[in-house]
């Protein structure tokens, strides 16, 4: 596995307008994830790459495999997240600013895939959407057991209920 997504466009240049498939499996830095104590075990891409003269369009999907811990109850989580990908790459030297570019017959899609992962992942890693989390007093996992803690008293945030907007 590689940590770079580099696509050779030679075949695309010879077949203007025809989508050509590209697939691969990659390792990326765990710094991409917004979740503490989680890691990307694998990133798979399945793209159709089309040379549209002078630009290159890539359409497909990114599949991320994530291992970590639930943000609410700390149970282990293994998740597979599928993200759509649709991006245009401009020829190096074009006037397009803040866009992805390609040089000669080589297109490095690594940054575009990184950006898509960072911008598209959910903000929380959960074992399930209805996770009840941990009891703030005794620490019991409320998905597995009910505790008898009295949570009706004041806490550090109770003053917020008196705020008027």
> Could you tell me if residue 1 is inside a domain?
no
Instruction: Say yes or no: 87 and 158 in one domain.
Output: no
- Its domain, for residue 164, covers 132-165
Lowest mean pLDDT among 49-53, 82-86, 105-109, 136-140: 136-140
Instruction: Say yes or no: 28 and 93 in one domain.
Output: yes
Instruction: Say yes or no: 75 and 23 in one domain.
Output: yes
Q: How many domains does the chain have?
A: 2
Instruction: Say yes or no: 20 and 97 in one domain.
Output: yes
Instruction: Say yes or no: 120 and 152 in one domain.
Output: no
pTM above 0.85, yes or no: no
At residue 69, φ and ψ (nearest 5 deg) are: -130, 145
Instruction: Say yes or no: 140 and 119 in one domain.
Output: no
Whole-number Å distance between alpha carbons of 42 and 80: 10
> Could you tell me if residue 109 is inside a domain?
yes
At residue 29, φ and ψ (nearest 5 deg) are: -65, 145
Whole-number Å distance between alpha carbons of 135 and 140: 5
> Could you tell me if residue 47 is inside a domain?
yes
Whole-number Å distance between alpha carbons of 123 and 113: 18
Q: Is the pLDDT of residue 101 over 80?
A: yes
> Could you tell me if residue 154 is inside a domain?
yes
Q: What is the pLDDT of residue 94?
A: 64
Instruction: Say yes or no: 136 and 163 in one domain.
Output: yes
* Cβ proximity of 21 and 47 under 8 Å: yes
Q: What is the pLDDT of residue 97?
A: 67
What percent of the chain clears pLDDT 70, i.e. is strictly above it?
92
Distance, CA of 45 to chain centre: 12
Instruction: Say yes or no: 117 and 99 in one domain.
Output: yes
Instruction: Say yes or no: 85 and 136 in one domain.
Output: no
**pLDDT tens string 20-44:** 999 999 887 666 677 778 888 889 9
């Amino acid at each position: 596995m590689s940590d770079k997504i580099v696509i050779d466009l030679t075949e695309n240049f010879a077949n203007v307008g025809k989508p050509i498939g590209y697939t691969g499996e990659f390792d990326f830095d765990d710094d991409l994830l917004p979740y503490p104590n989680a890691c990307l075990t694998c990133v798979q891409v399945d793209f159709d790459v089309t040379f549209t003269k002078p630009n290159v369009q890539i359409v497909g999907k990114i599949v991320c495999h994530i291992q970590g811990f639930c943000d609410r109850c700390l149970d282990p989580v293994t998740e597979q997240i599928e993200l759509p990908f649709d991006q245009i790459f401009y020829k190096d030297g074009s006037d397009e600013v803040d866009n992805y570019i390609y040089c000669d017959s080589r297109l490095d899609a690594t940054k575009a895939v990184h950006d898509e992962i960072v911008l598209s992942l959910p903000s929380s890693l959960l074992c399930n959407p209805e996770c009840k989390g941990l009891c703030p007093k005794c620490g019991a996992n409320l998905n597995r057991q009910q505790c008898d803690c009295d949570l009706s008293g004041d806490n550090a945030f109770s003053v917020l209920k008196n705020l008027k907007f």
